[in-house]
Every structure is written in structure tokens, then in C-alpha cells.
Amino acid sequence: MISKKHKKNITIVGILLLSSIMIHFLQNDPVIEDGNSRSADVDLVTIIPKNHTLIPIEVKNSESLDSIFGNYGYVNLYVEKNHKQQLVGKNIKLIRAPKNPSQFAVLVKDEQTKYIAAYDTEFFVSISGEKNSGTVFVKEQKQQSHIQVGIEND
């Protein structure tokens, strides 16, 4: 028969053991509920969905994002064209690089890769609140020249 003293000691040891196991798993969990990674060893290649591509991009306002953006979220992408910001796409999933938090990549469907690859420049990022409405890319419109011809009769 186990004495009360031994039961108390077994209970204390059990609680300590369970607590240490929980702490171990919580500290080593690579992704927690809010999407923030706790480990730099997360291999993003293994979590890319089928028919999607992860494209590294240069972010013009990355320092500003550092203070307000977590490890991933939905954003709008812009490029500077003729000294104006031109929308490239809306509601695009942006992911912070786990091994270098100042670098970012966008996760897009394979057929949408061309919209990002078309720009060899830094992107300006604004955070989007519309994460369920789907990614939308803006097709670049070709500039049309308008020629006016005036005819005068004398």
C-alpha cells in the first residue's frame, strides 16, 4: 500500500513532468494559432499548397511592415510607375521569411506567377483586410496613342 507521503510525492513529480513536457512542446511548436512562427527552422517548401508558387519579392516599405505585420497576412501590392503608385494585385498572401525576417514572399497560384514576374522592381505593400475575397491581379493596360488630325479648308 502506498502511503500518503508517497502519493503526494508522486503527484508533485507527475505535475512537474507534465508541465515540463508542455513547456517543451510549446517552445518548439513552429506555428502557433495567430500564425507567428516560433522557429526559424520552418521549411516553407513543405507547406506550399499544390498548384501554388512562393515568389520572393523586394518590399519597398519593409521597415514599416516590421512594426505592424506578423509572419503572414493579406496585402495589396503596388509598383511605382511614372512617379505614381500603380496597383498590381489585391488580397495577395504575403509571407515573412522565417530565416530572414526582413525578406518577404508572395504565395500565388501557378498561373498568376506572371503578374509578379512582370515587374523587376520593389513593391510597395499595404495591408488588406479582405482575406476571404480571393486574390485579384490588375492587368496592365497598354497605353494607346491618340492622334488628332485637324483639317482646315481655305
13-49 pLDDT, tens digit per residue, is 777 766 666 666 555 544 444 445 444 555 666 778 8
As a whole number of angstroms, the distance between CA 134 and CA 108 comes to 11
Query: What's the pLDDT band for 149 if we cut at 50, 70, 90?
Result: low
Global pTM value:
0.61
Chain mean pLDDT for the chain: 78
Computed on alpha carbons and rounded to an integer, the radius of gyration of the chain in Å comes to 26
pLDDT above 50 (res 151)? yes
Predicted pLDDT at 34: 45
Alpha-carbon separation of residue 120 from 3, 19, 59, 79, 80 (angstroms)? 75, 51, 12, 10, 11
As a whole number of angstroms, the distance between CA 25 and CA 33 comes to 14
Stretch 131-141: mean pLDDT: 71
Query: What's the pLDDT band for 139 if we cut at 50, 70, 90?
Result: confident
Predicted pLDDT at 60: 94
